[in-house]
Amino acid sequence: MLHLTERFKPDSLFDSLSVLGDVLYSHGDYSQAETAYREALTLARKLRVKEHNDVAAQLSGLGLTLWQKGDLTEAEEAFREALEIDRKVYGTNAHWYIAALLNNLALVLQSQGNLDRAESLFIEANEMRKKVVGPENLDLAIGLHNLAALAHSQNRLTDAESRERDAIAHQGQQVSVRVAKERHPRFVVGHPG
């Protein structure tokens, strides 16, 4: 379908394919998103050094798309490769991209039934989020919800309830922060983008 690599500047084509993949994914057109991400990944591998965030970003988009399509083995491989690259790019420092990849890999492992490993990755992702964006960031509530859903799937209902209550309380704090920010333009809350 796309195969436009011969007619456009490689960098601008890479950017366009990457955004196209994001848009198609957002619209639920996972087959076309997969094609766009694969072509963007091919270009990223040609244009960038092997261990570049652009390569990891395309692998992450591809991994999400494959997870949505139910191709769990290939989704896991994509997330693991992206995680390996980002850990080399960012070193041992906590980084939002690494936390997101840990969370997404955990979702795939949960879908595969590897619940213990998924839980440890959800916890690792949440701890990293706290370091990177702070305990007030909404992403932490999402992570807490993921842990609650996992505990629920294991029939650990007390744990699930506690984690979901934490997620709800955290989201309530976020509403207060948004209201304060709207009332006071100098009040800034960090968000990864």
According to CATH, what is the number of the domain 1-109? 1.25.40.10
Residue 25 pLDDT: 93
- Which class for 67: exposed (0-12), middle (13-18), buried (19 or more C-beta within 10 A)? buried
CB 55 within 8 A of CB 63: no
Q: What is the pLDDT of residue 111?
A: 95
- Rg of the chain on CA atoms, in Å: 18
Q: What is the Cα–Cα distance from 59 to 70, expressed in whole angstroms?
A: 16
Residue 57 neighbours by CB distance under 10 Å: 22
Which pTM value belongs to this model?
0.81
Provide the angle, in degrees to the nearest 10, between the axes of the packed helices 53-69 and 96-112: 30
| Tens place of pLDDT per residue across the chain (193 aa) | 445 445 556 567 878 888 999 999 999 999 999 999 999 999 989 887 677 788 999 999 999 999 999 999 999 999 999 999 999 998 877 888 999 999 999 999 999 999 999 999 999 999 998 888 877 778 888 888 999 999 999 999 999 999 988 888 877 765 444 443 444 333 333 332 3
How far is residue 34's CA from residue 146's CA, in Å, rounded to a whole number? 25
Number of other residues whose CB lies within 10 A of the CB of residue 95: 19
Say what the pLDDT of residue 7 is. 56
Amino acid at 185: P
